[in-house]
Structure 1
Amino acid sequence: MDRTIVITGASSGLGLTAAEQLAAQGDRVVVVGRNPERLAAAIERVRAAGGGREPGRYQADFESFKEVRELAEHLLSTYPKIDVLANNAGGMIGAYRRTVDGYEATIQGNHLSPFLLTHLLRERLAGARVVNTASRAHMEGRPNPDDFAADAGSYRRYAGSKSANILFTAEAARRWPDIFSVSFHPGVVRTNFGDGPLTRFFYKYAPFLVTPEKAGALLAWLATAPQSELVNGAYYVGHQVKQPARHATDPAVAAKLWDKSVEAVQL
């Protein structure tokens, strides 16, 4: 076993616990995070979990296409083989804001930037696997491919971006049959998630939250289980394939989202 697994959003939460679990079983893990202090602390934890093996690391903010492109250049120049790309970076943003690229921050961080990164690594991912962190929240919102700067309210912006993750996964399976793609709902994870004191309080103290370790184990399973045990293009809740909301299963919507996303990220 000598897999190289890139995990974005891996400096905290389920991304970090997945990185630890994968490192512990012998995988080479590349930890990507935005906050330098959390990233440094995560590297120590992943190194310890891997018995001292030095993990890869890169700091990038997914609200910047420039930084995503620099991340892709680093990965392509450093790792001749990438076995798994786990698109896990993202979050729920309270107040509306636009990124330096002119798009609403939630849809850029949660969908457009992972979409861009996956495309930039596309050739290196041939024969590999992409795992996209989605959410059951997708049922409450739809992406607006005609206007990636639109404001639908905090939760609906987030929900729309999670629908986009599911649509992207299914469309990738159709367009890129040489890459195995899955998306999943990790549960509502007790983690440092969201923007604003009320949202952060909820994601730390609500009684029904899933532990980061359990959610990370699901990501790790999706990243490494034999393909014969999984379904290409599927959406998972736990270890089971689930049917997403109808608006997140329409191939015409997925195709339009793909084409408009290509335009937005200037591929």
Structure 2
Amino acid sequence: MATIVVTGASSGVGLAAAEQFAARGDEVVLVGRNPARLAAAAERVKAAAVFQADFESLTEVRALAGELRAACPRIDVLANNAGGMVGEFRRTADGFEATMQGNHLAPFLLTTLLREQLRGGRVVNTASRAHVQGSPDPERLAGDPAKYSSWQAYGASKAANILFAAEAARRWPEVFSVSFHPGVVRTNFGSGRVTRLFYKYAPFLVTPEKAGELLVWLATAPEAELVDGGYYVGHSVTRPAPHARDEALAARLWTASAAAVGV
């Protein structure tokens, strides 16, 4: 029985994947931000444990890591699935642009703090094809309100997820890391009425269950069938946009992220 930690597990892809892991007989640990939705998800999944944390607070992420270390001496899979889009520019109390912190810096910190528990395990990062729309700037993680675009910020954070998985594969040979595009998923994702309506009703969207199946496959397929550090679209490893496969950028982003979160 594997121990699986799923962030962003109270709805959408994370909840669907958590239910599928539980159906396999895995020990599923749920992480979410909203206590009421998290409690409802735990009832559906019959979770082994539930932890609440807001990724816009690095203090909460550090506390979460400590709780997970105490509860889970070994973690077989960490599904870094939590994420979202911020409509208007916002800087967190930690001093970083909120989308970059929630989607990249917080999972970077959590994964780093859980590295020993993940030894011999796997990290699956939920990225997006939206990474083509933005590139992270390691020197400007605080963001620039004068140049803010919600889609560019989201794209940059998703490119960061891909770069993180690839760089982790190079730096941490004892932890298998991948990232993936889940499809354009029918969820409550996004900010603003038009964006939310699109993600709820557009006819070609992927169901959370289908996207969850892909996450579960990446978490459980034999390593010999996957590429360490790879970015997946469906069941195929795929070349991301040039900036998201730039090894020099990945190294700079890692160094800047480690300095930003204090690890």
For the aligned pair, the TM-score class normalised by the smaller chain equals over 0.9
**Structure-2 residue corresponding to 1:137:** 130
Note if contact 2:72-2:117 (Cα within 8 Å) is conserved in structure 1: no
Deviations 1:102-149 (A, max 9, x none): 111000000000000000001111111000000000011100110112
2-side partners of 1:27 and 1:83: how far apart? 10
Alignment pair present for 1:250 and 2:233: no
1-side partners of 2:132 and 2:239: how far apart? 11
**Structure-1 residue corresponding to 2:149:** 153
1:94 is matched by which residue type in structure 2?
Answer: G
Deviations 1:43-102 (A, max 9, x none): 01101xxxxxx4210011000001100110000001111000010001011011111101
> Where does structure 1 differ by over 3 angstroms across 4 or more consecutive aligned residues?
none
**Structure-2 residue corresponding to 1:15:** 14
**Structure-1 residue corresponding to 2:225:** 229
**Structure-2 residue corresponding to 1:51:** none
Deviation at 1:194, TM superposition (A): 1.4
1:3 is matched by which residue type in structure 2?
Answer: A
Deviation at 1:39, TM superposition (A): 0.3
Note if contact 2:138-2:257 (Cα within 8 Å) is conserved in structure 1: yes
TM-score normalized with structure 2 length? 0.97
Alignment pair present for 1:46 and 2:45: yes
Alignment pair present for 1:177 and 2:173: yes
2:206 is matched by which residue type in structure 1?
Answer: V
**Structure-1 residue corresponding to 2:28:** 29
**Structure-2 residue corresponding to 1:110:** 103
**Structure-1 residue corresponding to 2:201:** 205
**Structure-2 residue corresponding to 1:71:** 64
Matching of residues 84-103 of structure 1 within 5 Å:
84-103=77-96
Further displaced range: 135-144 or 146-155 = 146-155
Unaligned runs of 5+ in 2: none
Alignment pair present for 1:217 and 2:216: no
Deviation at 1:196, TM superposition (A): 2.2
Secondary structure of 2:138's counterpart equals: coil
1:128 is matched by which residue type in structure 2?
Answer: G
2-side partners of 1:209 and 1:224: how far apart? 25
Unaligned runs of 5+ in 1: 48-53
Deviation at 1:229, TM superposition (A): 1.1
2-side partners of 1:228 and 1:30: how far apart? 26
2-side partners of 1:213 and 1:229: how far apart? 22
- Say which of 216, 237, 243 aligns to 1:241: 237
2-side partners of 1:197 and 1:36: how far apart? 24
Q: How many residues align?
A: 260
Secondary structure of 2:154's counterpart equals: helix
Secondary structure of 2:179's counterpart equals: strand
Deviation at 1:195, TM superposition (A): 2.0
Secondary structure of 1:57's counterpart equals: strand
Secondary structure of 1:68's counterpart equals: helix
1:75 is matched by which residue type in structure 2?
Answer: L
Secondary structure of 2:174's counterpart equals: coil
2-side partners of 1:110 and 1:131: how far apart? 13
Deviations 1:221-251 (A, max 9, x none): 1111111111100000000000000111111
1-side partners of 2:9 and 2:70: how far apart? 21
- Residue identity over aligned pairs, in percent, reads 69
- Say which of 66, 72, 75 aligns to 1:82: 75
Note if contact 2:188-2:200 (Cα within 8 Å) is conserved in structure 1: yes
**Structure-2 residue corresponding to 1:50:** none
TM-score normalized with structure 1 length? 0.96
1-side partners of 2:160 and 2:55: how far apart? 16
2:41 is matched by which residue type in structure 1?
Answer: A
Deviations 1:193-214 (A, max 9, x none): 1122222111101111100000
1:109 is matched by which residue type in structure 2?
Answer: G
**Structure-2 residue corresponding to 1:4:** 3
Secondary structure of 2:248's counterpart equals: helix
